[in-house]
Amino acid sequence: MHAENHEIVSLAALFPSNCIIYEMSATDRDGVIKELVEKLVEADSVKKSARKKLIEDLVEREKQGSTGVGGGAAVPHTAVKDLGALLGVIGRSSGGANFNCITGERVHVFFLVLYAPEMQTERRMALGRLIELSRSTNMIKFARAAGNVKDIVDLLKEMDGEA
């Protein structure tokens, strides 16, 4: 983050406990995306009618270039019309999933972020923060070692405190 960015994206607010998948079952990119989107539908964060297009948009975005950021993390993201706020879901995979990362490594923690097309500043802040924390802290290591959803929520709150 740059010094002029006074607003810090709250990870605990972006990823509420009902939008955290403690153990994902998917093992490939498309399956991961479907599972993450299903969690948003289940949490009533997105409408069931938007599910198919959202999955298609996310898969298309990944075909342009993997959102794997290294260190076992990926930040899939896309714009969604008429979204009032950033939406997010975390998926944790102890065995890892093949997310077509340029490094070839398996991804263990997924941070799906949705934003309205006009929310470019918020998008940059959220994605930048997630990438920075994934690369420069032990967040991914601790997320992988989490014993349950509450441990992940506590980790997000701790990361928010480091802002």
Give the CATH number for residue 152: 3.40.930.10
Q: What is the pTM assigned to this prediction?
A: 0.92
At 3, is the pLDDT very low, low, confident or very high (cuts 50, 70, 90)?
A: very low
Structural domain contains residue 29: yes
Structural domain contains residue 2: no
Mean local confidence (pLDDT), 6-11: 75
At 19, is the pLDDT very low, low, confident or very high (cuts 50, 70, 90)?
A: very high
pLDDT at 6: 40
Higher pLDDT, 77 or 8: 77
Q: In the chain, how many domains are there?
A: 1
Mean local confidence (pLDDT), 83-101: 92
Structural domain contains residue 127: yes
Structural domain contains residue 5: no
Mean local confidence (pLDDT), 72-98: 94
DSSP assignment string, 109-138 = EEEEEEE-TT-HHHHHHHHHHHHHHHHHSS
At 162, is the pLDDT very low, low, confident or very high (cuts 50, 70, 90)?
A: low
103-118 burial code (b ≥16 CB/10 A, e <16): eeeebbbbbbbbbbee
What is the chain's length?
163
Higher pLDDT, 5 or 41: 41
Print the domain residue range for 65.
11-161
Structural domain contains residue 153: yes
Average per-residue pLDDT for the chain: 91
